Amino acid sequence: MKVILSLLLLLLFTSPAIALAAAGPDASLRTDPTHRYVFLTFSNLQTASKVSYSLTYETNSVTKGLEGGFRLFGRQRRSVRRQILGTCSSGKCVFHANPHSLQLNVTFTLKSGLTTTISKSLQ
């Protein structure tokens, strides 16, 4: 009987920890209707201290890309970045034609010092 009670208590107290661990940092991406910008959404950031990302995409049979990152302070849960799919210089922007096959690679540095990497794609 003591063994069964011990197992039940163990399950009771470890199940929420497993559920919390499964809700680690995540990312998603979507383009605006004009396909001039991509919105990168980083969520479940409570356990992260730093986010680094790279985005590649195809345009006119050429691979283009960008890199970015930011540090987290406090209890930030979510961050959204709007990135241009093109280049800007002297206040003028040239948007890339028909960007497609977007590939996002994100590395989250956790407050524990460990890192976790995820990849997302959008055709």
pLDDT per residue as tens digits for the range 34-86? 999 999 999 999 999 999 999 999 999 999 999 999 999 888 899 999 999 99
Query: Which pLDDT score is estimated for 14?
Result: 46
SS3 content of the chain, % helix, strand, coil (to 5): 20, 55, 25
Q: What confidence tier does 11 reach under pLDDT thresholds 50, 70, 90?
A: very low
Query: Which pLDDT score is estimated for 1?
Result: 53
Q: Determine the 3-state secondary structure of 6 from DSSP.
A: helix
What is d(CA 35, CA 85) in angstroms, rounded to the nearest whole number? 8
Choices 2.40.110.10, 2.60.40.2150, 3.60.15.10, 3.20.20.10: CATH for 24-122: 2.60.40.2150
Q: In terms of pTM, does the model score above 0.75?
A: yes
* Percentage of the chain modeled with pLDDT above 70: 82
